[in-house]
Amino acid sequence: MDILYLLIPLSVVLVFVIGVLFWWFLKSGQFDDLEGPAYRILMDDDQPAKSNPARAKLSSGEPPPSL
Protein backbone atom coordinates (compact mmCIF):
# COMPACT_ATOMS: atom_id res chain seq x y z
CA MET A 1 0.00 0.00 0.00
CA ASP A 2 2.91 2.35 0.71
CA ILE A 3 4.09 2.04 -2.92
CA LEU A 4 0.96 3.91 -4.06
CA TYR A 5 2.30 7.03 -2.36
CA LEU A 6 5.18 6.88 -4.84
CA LEU A 7 3.45 5.56 -7.96
CA ILE A 8 0.49 7.95 -8.07
CA PRO A 9 2.56 11.18 -7.96
CA LEU A 10 5.10 9.64 -10.35
CA SER A 11 2.35 8.81 -12.86
CA VAL A 12 0.88 12.32 -12.58
CA VAL A 13 4.32 13.83 -13.27
CA LEU A 14 4.83 11.48 -16.21
CA VAL A 15 1.46 12.44 -17.74
CA PHE A 16 2.32 16.11 -17.28
CA VAL A 17 5.71 15.67 -19.00
CA ILE A 18 4.13 13.79 -21.92
CA GLY A 19 1.49 16.51 -22.27
CA VAL A 20 4.14 19.26 -22.32
CA LEU A 21 6.18 17.40 -24.92
CA PHE A 22 3.11 16.83 -27.10
CA TRP A 23 2.16 20.51 -26.87
CA TRP A 24 5.73 21.53 -27.77
CA PHE A 25 5.72 19.23 -30.82
CA LEU A 26 2.37 20.66 -31.93
CA LYS A 27 3.64 24.24 -31.66
CA SER A 28 6.86 23.42 -33.54
CA GLY A 29 4.90 22.19 -36.58
CA GLN A 30 5.76 18.52 -36.25
CA PHE A 31 2.25 17.39 -37.25
CA ASP A 32 1.37 20.07 -39.82
CA ASP A 33 1.76 17.97 -42.97
CA LEU A 34 1.22 14.26 -42.40
CA GLU A 35 0.73 13.22 -46.04
CA GLY A 36 3.32 15.38 -47.80
CA PRO A 37 6.45 13.33 -47.00
CA ALA A 38 4.78 10.12 -48.19
CA TYR A 39 3.79 11.70 -51.50
CA ARG A 40 7.25 13.21 -51.97
CA ILE A 41 8.79 9.74 -51.71
CA LEU A 42 6.38 8.30 -54.26
CA MET A 43 6.60 11.21 -56.69
CA ASP A 44 10.37 11.58 -56.61
CA ASP A 45 11.42 11.94 -60.25
CA ASP A 46 15.15 11.77 -60.84
CA GLN A 47 14.70 12.38 -64.57
CA PRO A 48 12.10 14.46 -66.39
CA ALA A 49 9.39 12.52 -68.24
CA LYS A 50 10.68 13.69 -71.66
CA SER A 51 14.03 11.93 -71.30
CA ASN A 52 12.48 8.65 -70.10
CA PRO A 53 10.23 7.20 -72.88
CA ALA A 54 8.70 4.47 -70.68
CA ARG A 55 7.67 7.00 -68.07
CA ALA A 56 6.36 9.37 -70.77
CA LYS A 57 4.09 6.60 -72.13
CA LEU A 58 2.76 5.87 -68.67
CA SER A 59 2.03 9.51 -67.99
CA SER A 60 0.21 9.87 -71.34
CA GLY A 61 -2.39 7.29 -70.32
CA GLU A 62 -1.20 4.35 -72.45
CA PRO A 63 -1.24 0.94 -70.78
CA PRO A 64 2.11 -0.37 -69.57
CA PRO A 65 3.95 -2.81 -71.83
CA SER A 66 3.25 -6.47 -71.07
CA LEU A 67 6.09 -8.72 -70.01
DSSP state of 62: P
Residue type, 55: R
Contact 16, 10 (CB under 8 A): no
**Residues 18-36: pLDDT tens digits?**
999 999 999 998 888 878 8
More confident residue, 46 or 7: 7
Domain boundaries of the chain, sorted by first residue: 4-59
**Residues 34-60: pLDDT tens digits?**
788 778 777 766 665 565 555 555 555
Q: How far apart are CA 1 and CA 45, in angstroms?
A: 62
